[in-house]
Structure 1
């Protein structure tokens, strides 16, 4: 029996909550696989050599996700501001 057949067999006998978690994990693994494959410009650009996110790498990523469409930007920003809270850390910060 192939791995795919085994997975399908397990899927058939699993509840929806486990399937939802499994789907999220599978998508994560596929994304991780795509991100770890070297891009053609990776050899010439030092910002792509590091797999950790940096401010620069996040800004570079913004260039690839398109532009805002619609007229609800202000509404979305109000929602973000209304629902965000202060970060709370329950451990000692070694940098303080």
Structure 2
């Protein structure tokens, strides 16, 4: 099917749709256009991951634990973790 034929087919289908379904089509087209504009944005450059850093370098990212479920969370991690594969 050529581009022109496809456009004509879509226009005929749109002409036959009731208003509520036409609104759905419009919403769908809006979502397609917003996805394409998102994918065209330039990627943000991040600082490279430094290799050979020490655990002490990670302290700046550490916070304080809030809540009383630390032991439960640690137990869950130990129960569900798997061996790393390299």
TM-score by length of 2: 0.44
Task: Give TM-score scaled by structure 1 length.
Answer: 0.40
